[in-house]
Structure formats: structure tokens, C-alpha cells
Amino acid sequence: MTGDNGPVTRWETLDGNEAAARVAHALSEVLAIYPITPSSAMGESADAWSAAGRPNLWGTVPDVVELQSEAGAAGALHGAVTKGTLGATFTASQGLLLMLPNMYKIAGELTPAVIHVAARTLATHALSIFGDHSDVMAARTTGWAMLCASSVQEAHDFALVAHAATLRTRVPFLHFFDGFRTSHEVNSVQVLAEADLRALVREEDVLAHRARGLTPDAPIIRGVAENPDTFFQAAEAANPFHDAVPAVVAEVLDELAARTGRRYGLVDYAGAPDAERVVVVMGSATGCLGETVDELVRRGEKVGLVTVRLFRPFPVEAFLAALPPTVRAIAVLDRIKEVGAPAEPLHADVLVALSRRPGPRVIGGRYGLSSKEFTPQMAKAVFDELAAAEPRPRFTVGIVDDVTHLSLTPDHAFRVPEDHLSAVFFGLGSDGTVGAAKNSVKIIGEQPDNFAQGYFVYDSRKSGAVTVSHLRFGRTPVRATYLVDRADFVAVHQFDLLRTMKTVDVARPGATLLLNSPHGEDTWDHLPVEVQAEIAEKRLRTWVIDAEAVAKAAGLGRRINTVMQPCFFYLSGVLPADEAVAAIKESVEKTYGRRGRTVVERNFAAVDAAIAALRPLPAALRPTSTEHRLPPLPEAAGDLVRRVTGAMLHGQGDLLPVSALPVDGAWPTGTAKWEKRGIAAELPVWDPSLCIDCGKCAVVCPHTAIRIKLADPVDLAGAPEGFLHKEYKDRAHPGRRLVVQVAPDDCTGCGICSDICPARSKSEHKHKSLDMAPARDHRDAERGNFAFFLGLPEADRTEVRADQVKGVAQLQPLFEFSLACSGCGETPYIKTLTQLFGDRMIIANATGCSSIFGGNLPTTPYTTNADGRGPAWSNSLFEDNAEFGLGMRIAQDLQSAEARRLLGVLRAQVGAELADALLAADQADEAGIAAQRERVARLKAVLAGHVATDDAARRLLSLADELVDKSVWIIGGDGWAYDIGYGGLDHVLGSGRNVNILVLDTEVYSNTGGQASKASPRGATAKFATAGKGTAKKDLGVLAQAYGDVYVAQLAIGANQQQAVRAMLEAQAWPGPSLLIAYSTCIAHGIDMATSMSHQAEAVASGYWPLYRFRPGGDGHPLHLDSRAPSMPVRDFMQSEARFAMLARANPTRAEELAQLAQADADERWHYYSQLAGMERGLPAPKEEP
Amino acid sequence: MRPDLSTSYLGLPLSGPLMASASPMTGRLDSLLALEAAGASAVVLPSLFEEEVLAEESQLAELMDAGEDFAEFSGSPLPELEQPDLGAGAHVNLVRRAKEQLRIPVIASLNATRPGSWQRYASQLADAGADALELNLYTMAADPSVGAADVELAHLAAIEAVKIAVDIPLAVKLSPYYSAMSKFAALAVDAGADGLVLFNRFYAPDLDLERLSLLARADLSEPDDQRIALRWLGILRGQLPEVGLACTSGVHSGSEIIKALLVGADVACTASAILRRGPEAVAVMLAEAERWMTAHEYTGVAQLRGSMSAASVEDSSAYERAQYQAVLHSGRYA
């Protein structure tokens, strides 16, 4: 917001979220928030602004309050507006669904309120964080007005329109824009002035709203129950208010236009005045369609575009008025799939609107689900379809539908004029490419008369993530809302990407190409043949730089962004080099100034050294390489994985036809192993002479990249040269050899294994049994070793001591190579569970980090053993996971009971001995499980002979496997367990059913970027608690213990592996509910993740995280403390983590107060637990089911 | 009549002969106020170590980079927070806050590693209001390619550079390990030092035999540690009559204050006594010194100061050779 009152317009470069949030913060008193992608940034900004004391338009600092869920946020919003304050919230997707009940209430009560939505896909067959309108369309019956912004500028302007119009009409407003495409697009925006806000948000409307607020000084009653006699009439009584909305919004839009010159209608038309073919659309596709229409009109075609801005109440009159009278055919594009409906929502509305004015043929199509690209070629295809003699009444565009044949074929030859220069940057998440690209957009956009746009494509990996940044810039505003496909400048910031994905192909002929290459003058020889061909055929002007070397010399490590950025400006010529360098330095100062002078100066040094390090690449005229890029997956991966997963891995998933995809979202497991990423800069190297067989390395490895097996010497015949093994000290099985093997292409090089390794050389202290060493020196040899290792027999589960760390380490992990952050604190718990119970696990996984690294395509880490058994995994939602898992347990119990009943019925056919053995089986240990599986196999063989004649036999055969015990695990993070899912979790804990719950407690919403939860500790700074969390962490374990019959343990696998394993086994064995609360280090803590595991020892030693097990039904003293009394101050632990230390540097007084309270919390907690540990408690054990 | 305890150091009038030297106790406002209340006549704030500043800033930058480019993140998971106390900021702000709250002189302390940074940090500390600056010339000369002369030249260059950069008085805290102390002290004064602090204490590593780990333990001084300072204070007093001299290390009671003054120090400094016994140790030590002066009929510190320096005693050989042979042969060692 600008403070000026005059007509001078100010341009800023903003993304859609900030554009909307600025207005919302300025026009609200209460902001009730909850994080959800892609809207989280709006709440984060609002929270940070309020924490910094930024006032709203009336001088009040808005109260930004985080709730336990979006349902809670909507409830709080409802309360705040009912009391007469100005309230708003931000959300998306499932979050909006959780707000629906309150939305009906707020609308029914005619109470002004605004929800800003970064519209996102709803989870159906799969979750998607990306954008479409499925969430907002689910809200179209709530009675809220719905206003759609199509661009970053509109997100800014319509935020104001929504806040102004809700106060004038009393109808609450849902203001939405496309998730990612608009919410995350950075573009040049004319910023509204405070005076604009004051002019449109009329004081009398604010006061009138306040006057309607609930007050005991003039009491009224709301929320009453009405009966059949009056409900219907009362519902109709509000009609005039809703009927008035279009006119009021039009009035506000007119006022906005008068002040800013930016004129919008409720429905806008652009194109030929005598158009015959018209497309109707909402949202960001307007940009692409607008360009397409302009080009087609230029070519003489009679086409036009109708953009709907006010969707609810649907402005029928405005819509009809917008349509040219000449129109003969209309295609309505919906960014949602409404299964079973005769038309998608906008399509249906258009049909109804046109029922008053019959004439044009109307067809409807779906596009852009989950941020699927929508390009001018696709837009052209829609107009072409309208020109057909018999257009398809329903169609899709943007995919190839070879099943129901609904898809249109894009006109690939069609291009719209490209008025802007464009650039594409390929990078990795860790190299700062996106940050630099955003900076470049701002630098260019803030030059006089320059306009710039940036859009950023991310993949889902949290280690080794690929980013692609698309930039456009020029002398006119940029409205293209699709990716750059013919770039004037292409930079590949990571050399390996040239081999693993298509990169240079996006360059237009004669474009400039910048490669970050460690190979200097020899770079050409290291390029895959396809890349050489692109460079040669397109005559790309190619430059190379060894950016790592420049960055390293400047002290920047792997951050190459400030090396590559000046090169872009220098080579592209978009700004004079000296101006660009000055601007980059200014942005470095802005970005890194808060992180200290050192970093600023190192970046300056990198900027200064960059251009001199550029070298033109002497390129041959034709390709010379024999190496190919996009290597296919090995045949062993199978057809589906090679064809479908392989395409996704190569960035070609958009090309897959409908028939290639599963119909119900069910995918094969165990695909992470096919994605050989090789991202580690260092690999652990094993010295068997020092190894003490402890197994800690394998237990704590977050990526399952350190493996342990025991081998008979005979199995080692044929091992590659250099394959290491050592004697395994075991009296029961003398002679066996221990192998500790790294998976060199799956290791992330986090260093945790080496950090935790307790075995040191006596003669050289720094040398451990596992040392990190440069990957390039070891990767090739370890590839061969790992391949051989995989062929060694797996451990016999009936022989391994699973109650010991070294034993667990030998068991086959059925969770491997996840894409979690390097050093992740969550994954070791899951991996260990799969080692213990993976072949019989059913997992209900709450949405969050563990569902993303556990189940995000292209590849997934849960896998199977040689028998084909492994964890069966599903994710329902964020909020319902405990219930989801309980449902699985109930079903399994029912199926097992039915199998047992049928077995009783068929006892004679099956044979009494087998039947009785099956029914009486003790499955408490691996031997028992193995024996039962063997019996089930015999049972199946027997039943096979009866199925043709006996229905009961057929039914029992379908359930026979359920006679083997299953281990139901409910897994999720603290956001789920402490906040959004707590009600369900509590209910499940109280159910007495045999479920095991693992809470991966990172003490923050990790997956959405580090927002505070009720698990966040006092004194830590986090998003939504920027000023430091003032309240203590909720003690989930003690709450659960109150039930008495719930097994509860608090663990920290990095601090005490043995206790963690013991707790897992006891939880599994306890026939009632079990709750494991697992301390999970996270990048949001601000620690060196190489010490992610060993650092946990300090959490325990300081009493910050006591270890315990609460074992009901045991010796009468259920609580057993597994850690010792605190031996170091909590403050020392806190100061070693940036989440606490940052607050100490930002606000020493508050940090000191909170640190003292945190110490008191820890002291009191230890005192309390110590007393509980002496308490006697005896409750009846839960009844075993069935 | 009570003896006059006031003195002056670096041109700063001090209410008494005992300052608090740099320690964690001078790093917090509450203990600074307590030290002032107990009678400390000046405080030296904890040293700004450039190495620490760089490490802290680099570490934070690295942590803030984590997760920056994740699809679901809007930047780093750690919130972007204004951190005025980051790196050098903590020291600069402590100077500012101490100056706002204290009436006694506040002396900032600096240990930089690079030529340009001495001036930069010195200016920041001076601008924040420090009454004087103490340069902590700490170099662990473990690089085999760097000789003694190189080290001394670098130290002198740092003094010169800072002297040019700031207008406030400058003290230089010396290590006891210079080969030619008198010469170096004179050169330091020529380079711009207004005062010398004798001596810096260096913490040597220790080993934890159970964990087999190196310990960086901060050993507190003992009264005997004062004697090497006494020697050089006694010698330098006569050689550098106009230069401020402060005695640090081993000052634990009134006796060590008196000894320091007798050999020529303008003021004594203590850290270990305060760390062991709290700020109130200052009051006790001053009372002890005052009692001694009363008992021995000294009118004030001015009378006492330097009265037994090498230049003021009949036989200065005790300072210069310390009768090494005689001590050994007599068996009079502690």
C-alpha cells in the first residue's frame, strides 16, 4: 500500500498472495488463519506485518490468530464478524471445505466477511497442491458472493473490491485467484494507495457493521433454531441483499476505475465486436485466451473472450450484455471436473443464462486441472472446435484422452506474437536459482517503463528438487499465463540436469545459452548428444562458467545464485551490466542484510567475480557425443514403471495419455529404487577394522542408504573386488560376515551415519568406521558393491534379535530412498517400523511431510520383500487420519473375525488339526507369524478344492490372509496430532482398539513451511509465531496417559535407539491403542542437519525431551522414565538451535523471559513425570479383538 | 581520613582502582549494573571476535537457505526476522545499552582477523558510544609460514589502523609471549596505543579422557597468575611513564590491587573473582585495598601508583632476572 493520496501510480513487483494479503491486512481487524498451500504465504505475511506493528487503515494492528484447523479459523472468523469487527481469512483446497459449514452460517446471517482463496485442487484419487477451481466451486452454494481475479493485479484490486462490497452488501465475499499460477506468479503491479482503500471502504458501512455486532448493551439473539413454519420464508427474506450484489460490485468497480483507471466489469468482453465464436472463462486462463483472441482477430477471425469476474451471484444480465449479438457458438471452460453433472458449474450457469436468450450453441470443456498448462495452442483448439460443424458438447483440453476421446488437439503451429523477451532457468532447490530469478524479475520490473513476470515450477522432492524459473520482460505488461516455450535466454544452473531432463530444448533458434559447467573448455565433450544437437541446430550462443568455483572462492559454498545472476544480465543485455550489478548488489543487501555483513560481502564478491569467469563455448557444428540423456529405467522396473513413472521422472508426464494412468489412484509401491539420483557430494566410506557391529548407522540413516546384512562366507563368492566385510561377533552363529554398504545413488550425503558412528580409530581420533569422503572417488565402485549387496540373502526374521538395535539394523527395510530433506528426522522412525513390522503393516498417513515423502509421485519409497509383502499405505486427509486408521483396524478386525467364524464352520473340510492350529495360533513373534503364514498357505490349498461347490469356502479363501495378524499404524505429524486431528486422535485413543499411532513431532508445520503448531515449544520463533511462541508445548503424552489403557511412549531415536525400538515393539504388542511421540529434527529447527540425530541427545540430556514409556497393565507402575534427570540447562540446548537463537538476537528481553519460562517448564515437567513414575495405577487391559 | 581511591586510565577519570574486565558478567545489563553498584570504576565488555561473528552469520545464512525453494514453502521455514543482535550487532548494541544505563566508562573490546575489519568494527563500537576501545591482540601463531616479526607487524598495523579510524582512547591488551616485550610495548604506543593491558589469558585445550574429546574450558585465574604481569608492569611503568597501564589476570583480592598499583598500574582488572563470587566481590576487594592503604597510611592511589616500579626501587634486578637461580636453589617455590 502506498501512503500517497494523489493520482501518481506506483509499480511494484509482487506475487498474487502478497498482492491480496496487503489489502486484507490493511482492511481487517481480525485475521483467523491456518496454513495450507498455496495460500500459506498470505497468513504468514499478515502475521509478520502484525508482529512488526503494521497497522490497518484505521491505525489498529490487526490481531492475527492461528487456529487448530481451517474449521477453527472459520469459527473464529464467524465469531469475530458476529461481534462487529472486520474479519478475513486465507485458505485453499481442503481448508476451504472445512470452512463450508461456517460459510453457510455467515452468509445466512448476512454478516460481512472475506475469504481470500488461492484456488487449489481438491484431493480425489490423489492429493495435489496445485491450482484449479475444485475448491471454490464446492463453496458456490454457501451464499457467499464469489469474485474471481485473473492476474496478480486483479488479486490486488479485487481484494479491495471484496472488502468494500461485503460491507456495502452485507453478503460475505469469497475472493479467489488461481493457486500457483496467480498466487505465486511475480508480476508488475500498480499498487493501490491508502486513499483508494479509504475511498472504497466507506466509513458508514464499517460503523453499520459494528453497530450490528453482538453486544449485551443491546442484545439480540442469533443462531436460533427455526421450524417448518418459518425457516423457508426466512431463507427467502435475504433475497434482496443477494440480488443487490451485482449492482453494488459494479458500483465499486466503477469507483475503482475512477480512481485508478483500471476498469473491470462484472463480466468483460474482449475480441471482435462481431464475434461469432466466443469462449467464456474465469481465472488466469484469461491471460492466455486474451492473447489468443487478439492474434485470431488480427488474422480476421470473428472470435471473442468473455471473462466472468463475479461468479456468485451469477450476473445473468451482465453476462448477456457482454455477449456480442453476433455470437453463434460458445465454449465455456471450467477449471474443475464435476463428475456426473450434465455440465461443469460455469458451463451450467451459462446455459441457464442463455435460456433467456436462446440462439448460440453452447459447449463446455475442462482445462487446467491441478495447474495443467493452458497455452495459446490449446486456446486455439477451443476456437477451432467451435468452428466445427458438430462441435463436441463436452470436451477436455490440455491432455490426450485416448479412453473417452474427449480431448481437443492443440494447434501446435499456432503462435501468438511474442512481445517480450523471455528466459528460463533450470536449477536445484538448494542452489538459490528461484531466489535469484525472483530478484531478477524485481530488478527488471522496477526499472522505469519496464514490465516483468516470473513464474516458478517446482517438483516435490525435498532433497535434490529441480526448479524451473520462467521469466518474461518488456515494455508492455505481461499477461501470458503459461510457461515459456521459446526462450531468448536459457540457463542451466546444474550440469547434471542436461542429462536427466529436457532443458536447452526450450531455447529459440539463435538464443543465448548459459551452462554452469565444471568442465571448462572441455564442456562440449561432456554434453549428451541430444543437447549438442540442439545447440548446433539452433545455433545457440553458448557460454559456460564454473559457478561452483566462483562461489567457493567467494565463500558461498554451493549457493551459485549470485554468480549466475550477473551473467544473465550481462549476456541477455536486458540492463546495462553496471546498472545490473548495482541493482543485484542492492537486492543482495535487501535479501541477505538480515543475515549479516559477512554474507552480504561474500555475495558481493561473487557478483564481482562472475562476469570475468564467463567463457564462450567453442561448439562443434554437429553432435559428437555418444552419450544420451534421459536414460530409460532398467527392464526390471517393469512395463508400467518404465513407461509411466519413467516419463514422469524425465519431466515428460504431461505427454502421458489418459489410458496410461490408473483409474483409481492405485499405484505400485517400491518405485523410489528406480530413481537413481546420485545427489550426494560425499558418501560414507566404511572401515570394517574399526566397526563394532552396533548398527546405529543403519538405524538412523534418514534415506535408508546405509544397509547392513550378515552373510555366510559362501554367499560372498563372486563379490566385486573391494567389497568389504568383517567378522560378526555372534556366538550362536560363528563365522558370519557383517557387511555395511552404502547405496551410492540414493544417499544424500547428509553425514548422519558418520556423525553417529561411535567407532573411532585409536591412532587417529578423527577417523571413524564411517567417514564421509568425496562421492566422485567412490560412487562407481560402490555402485557395483551395492548391486552385489542387494543380491545377498536377507536376514531370516525368525533368527534376528529384533529387540536389539544391531538386530533391527539387519532386517530388510521396506521404506527406502525417500525424497525427504537431507538429514530428515522423521524417516528413521518409519524405516525402523517397516523393518520390524513392514510385511504386515497397514498405514494410514496424515497429509504432511510424511505423506509427501511417503506418497508423492513420480516415485514412492514404501516397498516389498521377496515374498511381495510390504506396507500397504494410504492417505485420506490431514484432519481425519486417526479415524481413517481406526476404520482400517475395524475392517481388519471384522475380516479376521469373519475368517475365524468361517473357519469354524468349515472345520471339517479344512481338517480339525489345521483349523484349530489356525485359530489358536500365537503370533506374538516372527516365528509365530511365519508359522501362521505357512498354515494359511495350507488352508488356501485345501480351500481351493472346495471353492467351486462351497460358498463358505470361497468366502474364507478371500479372507484367509486376514488370519495372519496385521499391524495397523496411524502416522502423521504434530500439526495433525496436536491440532487439526486432535479430536479424532483423542477419540481413537479412547476407543480401546488395537491401533498404533506414530506422531512425528517436528514441533512445527514442516510441510507447509514452518508454521507454529501447539507442539511448538515456548521461546521458539516460527511462522505465525514470529515474535516467539509464548505458550508452552502441549503435553500430548500426558493427555493420552489419562485414559489409563493407552500405551504411550516418548522417543528420540537419535538419542536412544534402543529405547525407540523397545517402544515400537511394546506399542505393537499392546492390544489396545498405542501412541508413540517421536522427536523429529527438522530443517525448521535451524540446526546442522548432519547432526540431526546426535543433536537429539542434547534434547534428552537437557530435559527438553524426556524419554519415557507408559505401559498400562504391567507391574502397576505404568510410567517408566527412560532418560536421566536433566544434566544440562535447557537454555544451552535452545541456544544451539536457530529457531530459539534468532529470537534472542531479535528480541533479547522477550527471549530471556521465555527461556526462563522454558527452563521452568522443563524443571516442572521432570518433577511431574518423576512423581508420575512413582504412581500406582491398575486398569483392566483392553479386550483383545475380536 | 579515608584514602582517595580515584585514579585515571586512558585519560578517563575512574572512581576507583578496580575495573571489571571482559567476561560473561560484562555481557549482560543486569550484571553490568550490579558491577557498577559494587564499585567497579569501569567495565570492559566481552570481546567482539571477528571469527565468531563470521561463523554466526555464515551459519545463519546457511540455515536460512534450507527449504527456500520448496513448492509449499514461501521462503525459509525459519521466519525472516530482524535480528539486530546478529553477529557484531550484539556487541554494538550492548555498548549502546550499557552506555544508556551506566554512569561509569564503558570500554569495548575487539579481536579482528583481517586488516579492514579492525577499523570497521572499531568504528561501529565507537559510534555506539564506547568510552574507550581495548584491542584484544590475540593470535595463535600456529601457521608455520608466519614468523614472530610477521605477527608483530600485523599487530602494530592493526593498532595504527584503528587509531586512525576512531577518536576514542585505545588500549591494547597484550599477550605475555612477545619475545621483546619492552620494544613491542614501545612500538605499540608509537602506533597509537594510549594504554596497555597486561596480560591476556589464553585458554588451552584439555582432554576428556572418558569421552575422548577435546575440551575448550575457560580456566579461571589464580592470584599467582598475577606475577608475570607485575614484572612487566614494573618494568614498563618507568619506560612508558605517560601510558595508561592496566593489570589483569590473578586479581582476586585487595592485595592484588595494591600490588598492581605499587608496580605501576593505573588500574587493576578482574574477571575471575567476579565469575566466582559475583559482582559483590568488587566491593569486598575495594574495601580490602582501602583497609590496606589506611593501615599503611597511604593518602590515595596517586601516591601508591608506581612507587615500587623498576624505576622506583633501589635494585631492579628482581624484575629483570627474578633471581631464577637463587629461587631454584633455595627451594622456596610454592
Is A1137 designated active site? no
Whole-Å CA distances, A438 to A10, A472, A473, A495, B241:
19, 11, 12, 21, 62
B62: distance to nearest CA of chain A, Å?
Answer: 9
3-state secondary structure of A844: strand
Give the largest CA-CA distance in chain B. 81
Separation of alpha carbons A457 and A460, rounded Å: 10
pLDDT at A1167: 96
Kindly report, residue by residue over B84-105, the tens digit of the pLDDT.
888 899 999 999 999 999 999 9
Note whether B80 contacts A: Cβ–Cβ < 8 A.
Answer: yes
Note whether A1156 contacts B: Cβ–Cβ < 8 A.
Answer: no
- Number of neighbours of residue A1150 by Cβ within 10 angstroms: 16
- Asked whether the beta carbons of A1133 and A1126 are under 8 A apart, the reply is no
Joined together, the cell numbers standing for residue A829 give: 522412525
pLDDT at B212: 86
- Asked whether the beta carbons of A494 and A431 are under 8 A apart, the reply is yes
- Asked whether the beta carbons of A1089 and A823 are under 8 A apart, the reply is yes
Kindly report, residue by residue over A152-208, the tens digit of the pLDDT.
999 999 999 999 999 999 999 999 999 999 999 999 999 999 999 999 999 999 999
For the cut 80, the answer to whether the pLDDT of residue A127 exceeds it is: yes
- Asked whether the beta carbons of B298 and B304 are under 8 A apart, the reply is yes
The single residue of A17, A111, A120, A889 carrying the catalytic annotation is: A120
The single residue of A1007, A1008, A1056, A1081 carrying the catalytic annotation is: A1007
- Asked whether the beta carbons of A1010 and A1084 are under 8 A apart, the reply is yes
- Per the CB < 8 Å rule, is B67 touching A1083? yes
Residue A595 pLDDT grade (very low, low, confident, very high; cuts 50, 70, 90)? confident
Q: Specify burial of residue A917 (Cβ count, 10 A radius: 0-12, 13-18, 19+).
A: middle
Residue A461 pLDDT grade (very low, low, confident, very high; cuts 50, 70, 90)? confident
For the cut 60, the answer to whether the pLDDT of residue B325 exceeds it is: no
DSSP symbol at A672: G
- Per the CB < 8 Å rule, is B80 touching A1145? no
Joined together, the cell numbers standing for residue A809 give: 539394523
Facing A1026 at nearest CB: one of B60, B72, B79: B79
Give the domains, in start order, of chain A with CATH numbers: 10-259 (3.40.50.970), 267-397 (3.40.50.920), 421-616 (3.40.920.10), 672-875 (3.30.70.20), 905-962 (no CATH), 967-1173 (3.40.50.970)
Q: Which residue has the cell 553432435?
A: A623
Give the domains, in start order, of chain B with CATH numbers: 7-330 (3.20.20.70)
CA-wise closest residue to A959 among A911, A917, A995, A918: A918
Residue B334 pLDDT grade (very low, low, confident, very high; cuts 50, 70, 90)? very low
Kindly report, residue by residue over B111-161, the tens digit of the pLDDT.
988 878 899 999 999 999 999 999 998 778 889 999 999 999 999 999 999
Compare all CA atoms of chain A with the CA of B83 and give the residue at the minimum distance: A1146
- Asked whether the beta carbons of A976 and A881 are under 8 A apart, the reply is yes
Q: Which long-range contacts (CB under 8 A, 24 or more apart) does A828-831 make?
A: A828/A699, A828/A700, A828/A701, A828/A702, A828/A1053, A828/A1054, A828/A1093, A829/A998, A829/A1000, A829/A1051, A829/A1053, A829/A1060, A829/A1076, A829/A1078, A829/A1080, A830/A854, A830/A971, A830/A998, A830/A1000, A831/A701, A831/A702, A831/A704
Note whether B58 contacts A: Cβ–Cβ < 8 A.
Answer: yes
- Per the CB < 8 Å rule, is B75 touching A1009? yes
* CB-CB neighbors (< 8 A) of B80 in chain A: 48, 594
For the cut 50, the answer to whether the pLDDT of residue B260 exceeds it is: yes
- Per the CB < 8 Å rule, is B74 touching A1082? no
Strand B170-174 relative to strand B195-198, pairing: parallel
Question: A412: which residues sit within 8 A by CB, 6+ positions away?
Answer: A377
- Per the CB < 8 Å rule, is A1084 touching B77? yes
Kindly report, residue by residue over A673-717, the tens digit of the pLDDT.
999 888 999 999 999 999 999 999 999 999 999 999 999 999 999
- Per the CB < 8 Å rule, is A41 touching B65? no
Kindly report, residue by residue over A199-218, the tens digit of the pLDDT.
999 999 999 999 999 999 99
pTM value?
Answer: 0.94
Note whether A1002 contacts B: Cβ–Cβ < 8 A.
Answer: no
Note whether B215 contacts A: Cβ–Cβ < 8 A.
Answer: no
Compare all CA atoms of chain B with the CA of A438 and give the residue at the minimum distance: B69
Give the largest CA-CA distance in chain A. 94
B77: distance to nearest CA of chain A, Å?
Answer: 4
Kindly report, residue by residue over A210-250, the tens digit of the pLDDT.
999 999 999 999 999 999 999 999 999 999 999 999 999 99
Percent of chain B with pLDDT over 90: 71
For the cut 90, the answer to whether the pLDDT of residue A1173 exceeds it is: yes
Separation of alpha carbons A368 and A1149, rounded Å: 51
Q: Specify burial of residue A934 (Cβ count, 10 A radius: 0-12, 13-18, 19+).
A: exposed
Whole-Å CA distances, A664 to A369, A667, A841:
17, 9, 22
Helix then strand then coil, % of chain B, to nearest 5 = 45, 15, 40
Question: A693: which residues sit within 8 A by CB, 6+ positions away?
Answer: A728, A729, A738, A806
- Per the CB < 8 Å rule, is B85 touching A1004? no
The single residue of A13, A37, A85, A748 carrying the catalytic annotation is: A37
DSSP symbol at A1038: H
Separation of alpha carbons A186 and A130, rounded Å: 17
- Asked whether the beta carbons of A124 and A93 are under 8 A apart, the reply is no
B123: distance to nearest CA of chain A, Å?
Answer: 15
For the cut 60, the answer to whether the pLDDT of residue A404 exceeds it is: yes
Q: Write b or e for each residue in A77-87: b if 16 or more Cβ atoms lie within 10 A of its Cβ, otherwise e.
A: bbebbbbbbbb
CA dihedral A933, A935, A937, A942 (to 10 degrees): -160
- Per the CB < 8 Å rule, is A40 touching B74? yes
Is A1007 designated active site? yes
Task: Mark residue A275 as left, alpha or beta (left: phi above 0; alpha: psi -120 to 50; beta: remaining).
Answer: beta
pLDDT at A1184: 53
Q: Which amino acid is at A750?
A: C
- Per the CB < 8 Å rule, is A557 touching B87? no
Q: Which amino acid is at A393?
A: P
Interface of A with B in 27-66 (CB under 8 A): 37-38, 40-41, 44, 48, 52
Note whether A1143 contacts B: Cβ–Cβ < 8 A.
Answer: yes
Q: What average pLDDT does range A391-413 have in this prediction?
A: 97
Sign of CA dihedral A956, A957, A959, A960: positive
**Residue of higher predicted confidence among A937 and B72:** A937
Separation of alpha carbons A1130 and A468, rounded Å: 42
- Per the CB < 8 Å rule, is A1086 touching B88? no
pLDDT at A182: 98
Separation of alpha carbons A433 and A424, rounded Å: 11
B145: distance to nearest CA of chain A, Å?
Answer: 22
- Asked whether the beta carbons of B78 and A1006 are under 8 A apart, the reply is no
Facing B83 at nearest CB: one of A44, A599, A1146: A1146
CB-facing half-sphere around the CA of A527: CA atoms within 13 A: 29
Compare all CA atoms of chain A with the CA of B211 and give the residue at the minimum distance: A758
pLDDT at B332: 55
Kindly report, residue by residue over A633-670, the tens digit of the pLDDT.
999 999 999 999 999 999 999 999 999 999 999 999 99
Joined together, the cell numbers standing for residue A219 give: 442484545
Residue A3 pLDDT grade (very low, low, confident, very high; cuts 50, 70, 90)? low
Percent of chain A with pLDDT over 70: 99
Separation of alpha carbons B73 and A326, rounded Å: 48
- Per the CB < 8 Å rule, is A1082 touching B77? yes
pLDDT at A1124: 95
For the cut 90, the answer to whether the pLDDT of residue A1185 exceeds it is: no
Q: What average pLDDT does range A715-723 have in this prediction?
A: 96
- Number of neighbours of residue A434 by Cβ within 10 angstroms: 24
Q: Helices then strands (H, E): number in chain B?
A: 13, 13
Return phi, psi of residue B45, to 5°: -75, 160
Average per-residue pLDDT in chain A? Answer: 95
Q: Write b or e for each residue in A370-395: b if 16 or more Cβ atoms lie within 10 A of its Cβ, otherwise e.
A: bbbbbbbbbbbbbbbbbeeeebbeeb
Kindly report, residue by residue over A347-377, the tens digit of the pLDDT.
999 999 999 777 899 999 999 999 999 999 9
pLDDT at A1186: 46
Q: Write b or e for each residue in A512-545: b if 16 or more Cβ atoms lie within 10 A of its Cβ, otherwise e.
A: bbbbbbeeeeebbebbbebbbbbbbebebbbbbb
Percent of chain A with pLDDT over 90: 90
Note whether B149 contacts A: Cβ–Cβ < 8 A.
Answer: no
For the cut 50, the answer to whether the pLDDT of residue A538 exceeds it is: yes
